[in-house]
């Protein structure tokens, strides 16, 4: 395993990639397979009570309560061998700390763990998905796409939802967005606040393909400027496959939205169920 000093020497002659930053209010830990802290967002002291320099190259067990770590490792063990994202809600990582919602995944042989303040309303988002998808049972063709966009907007509470399925587009919006809204594959899945400053990762690295998979990675400065100019305060992207065809829900909010892992998970579930409806629609011809 590379030490922090080795990583710093590797990066001495390169500038930090702007993509290798996290959004404000979100904490990142990049762990080795045996849960040694390899890298972390520079704000991690607010989460664990120890500076980022202190925790690098140390076992996460030194800074997290034993029961919380045990539960997270058990959950991660069930994830092993998959490309999915595991989530845990209302976790108290240290004694007396505020509860956090956590997402983690395997990326390039590392464990990528992201933590956000707990929304405190676990179950509220998931509880609406079944009723929303039932409302699409008799819809076909464009009506199915239109209904899916409306229901995704109802689920998320965002100001506009665009569903793009292989060029077939449906939109549901509270009011017309007059400015041109940028679309880019570089947009993170979740952008909570386009006005907030990004948080660097320590140690900096030239190649951050791992952090590039983080749900809450920061968009680059140019893209965030474009979003603000377009009047966008927050974004939620839900890509999915519909009968082998790439599709995506793009949710735009005029104001910032607090990071919410349960809402993201519920939106992913809704998108998967919409995918099944679209497949059935094609089979019916």
> 280 and 160, same structural domain?
yes
Please tell me whether the peptide bond between 54 and the residue prior to it is cis, using omega within 30 degrees of 0.
Answer: no
Contact in structure between 256 and 193 (CB atoms under 8 Å): yes
Here the CATH number for the domain that contains residue 153 is 3.30.450.40
List C-alpha distances in Å: 223 to 13, 43, 157, 164.
26, 23, 23, 21
> 70 and 145, same structural domain?
no
- Counting the structural domains of the chain, the total is 2
The boundaries of the domain holding residue 38 are: 4-117
186 pLDDT tier (thresholds 50, 70, 90): confident
d(C-alpha 230, C-alpha 109), whole Å = 38
% of the chain exceeding 90 in pLDDT: 64
Q: What digits encode the pLDDT tens for the residues 21-62?
A: 999 999 999 999 999 999 999 999 999 999 999 999 999 999
> 275 and 214, same structural domain?
yes
What lies within 8 Å, CB to CB, of 49 at 6+ separation is: 63, 94, 97
* Range with the poorest average pLDDT among 1-15, 75-89, 236-250: 1-15
d(C-alpha 203, C-alpha 14), whole Å = 12
């Amino acid at each position: 395993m590379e030490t922090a000093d080795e990583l710093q020497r590797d990066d001495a002659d390169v500038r930090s990639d702007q993509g290798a930053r996290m959004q404000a209010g979100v904490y990142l830990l990049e762990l080795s397979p045996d849960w040694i802290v390899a890298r972390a967002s520079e704000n991690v002291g607010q989460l664990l009570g120890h500076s980022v320099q202190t925790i690098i190259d140390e076992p996460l067990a030194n800074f997290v309560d034993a029961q919380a770590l045990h539960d997270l490792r058990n959950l991660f063990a069930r994830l092993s061998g998959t490309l999915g994202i595991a989530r845990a809600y209302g976790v108290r990582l240290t004694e007396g700390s505020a509860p956090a919602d956590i997402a983690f995944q395997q990326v390039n042989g590392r464990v990528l763990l992201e933590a956000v303040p707990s929304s405190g309303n676990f179950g509220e988002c998931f509880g609406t998905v079944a009723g929303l998808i039932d409302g699409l049972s008799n819809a076909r063709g464009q009506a199915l796409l239109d209904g899916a966009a409306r229901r995704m907007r109802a689920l998320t509470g965002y100001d506009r939802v665009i569903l793009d399925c292989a060029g077939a587009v449906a939109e549901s919006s509270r009011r017309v967005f007059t400015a041109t809204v940028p679309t880019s594959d570089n947009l993170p899945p979740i952008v909570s606040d386009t006005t907030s400053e990004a948080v660097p990762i320590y140690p900096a690295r030239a190649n951050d393909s791992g952090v590039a998979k983080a749900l809450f990675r920061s968009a680059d400065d140019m893209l965030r400027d474009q979003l603000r100019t377009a009047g966008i305060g927050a974004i939620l992207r839900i890509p999915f496959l519909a009968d082998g065809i790439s599709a995506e829900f793009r949710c735009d909010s005029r104001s910032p939205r607090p990071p919410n892992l349960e809402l993201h998970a519920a939106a992913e579930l809704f998108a998967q169920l919409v995918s099944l409806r679209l497949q059935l629609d094609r089979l019916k011809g």
